[in-house]
């Protein structure tokens, strides 16, 4: 083990920045997240909330930088944002609003076949998963019936069903869901 020193820390930061710059240069063909969701329709409420919280640009930056692993987003459709959900969301701090939206994104590309093959015990970390707590900010994706293709995504407090239509073009997979997933770390805090 190399002893910690300011020089080693500076080298680590420099290496990380170099890696990020390389990934950004290699990702010129990353899809425009806002355009993809706008063209798909039925995501206007999510886009409005994400735009107000600066999440769409951050998500675009992530997908552009992470084109080697991609990202999978379980995005609530417009009807998922009931008056109660929108009111609760708007009463959160700006930081927690962003966290709720990031909670719907997994930092790995999963196409439809991959999602259908996720086992009943798979726990998938989201963009905001906390590595010190195995339950914090994680989505359990469970394939209820591979014969019908019905998939349920379980968050900390509630679940949502994946709708049939989806967008799966690497590096971005988008699965419409019928409910807003609520992380307990925010809504029960």
pTM: 0.76
Would you give per-residue pLDDT tens digits along the chain (189 residues)?
Answer: 444 444 433 333 333 333 333 343 344 478 888 998 999 889 999 999 998 888 888 888 887 775 568 888 999 999 999 999 999 999 999 888 988 888 898 888 888 878 777 766 577 888 887 654 544 455 666 666 555 557 788 888 888 888 766 788 888 899 999 999 988 888 887
Per DSSP bridges, beta strands 71-76 and 172-177 are parallel
Sign of CA dihedral 129, 67, 45, 142: negative
Sheet holding 172-177, edge to edge: 105-106, 71-76, 172-177, 167-169
Q: Please, is 45 exposed, middle or buried when counting C-beta atoms within 10 Å of its C-beta (0-12, 13-18, 19+)?
A: middle
Q: What angle do CA 81, 78, 127 make, to 5 degrees?
A: 75
**Which residues touch 124 (CB under 8 Å, ≥6 apart)?**
106, 108, 118, 138, 139, 140, 141
């Amino acid at each position: 083990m190399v002893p910690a020193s300011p020089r080693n820390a500076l080298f680590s930061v420099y290496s990380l920045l170099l890696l990020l710059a390389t990934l950004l240069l290699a990702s010129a063909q990353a899809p425009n997240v806002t355009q993809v969701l706008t063209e798909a329709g039925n995501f206007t409420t999510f886009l409005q909330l994400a735009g107000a919280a600066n999440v769409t640009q951050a998500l675009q930056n992530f997908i552009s930088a992470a084109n080697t692993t991609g990202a999978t987003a379980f995005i609530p459709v417009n009807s998922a944002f009931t008056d109660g959900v929108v009111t609760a969301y708007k009463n959160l701090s700006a930081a927690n609003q962003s966290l709720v939206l990031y909670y719907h994104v997994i930092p790995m590309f999963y196409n439809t076949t991959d999602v259908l093959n996720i086992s009943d015990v798979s726990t998938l970390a989201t963009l905001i998963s906390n590595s010190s707590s195995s339950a914090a900010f994680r989505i359990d994706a469970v394939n209820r019936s591979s014969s019908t293709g019905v998939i349920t995504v379980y968050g900390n407090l509630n679940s949502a069903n994946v709708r049939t239509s989806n967008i799966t073009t690497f590096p971005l997979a988008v699965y419409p869901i019928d409910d807003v997933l609520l992380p307990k770390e925010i809504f029960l805090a």
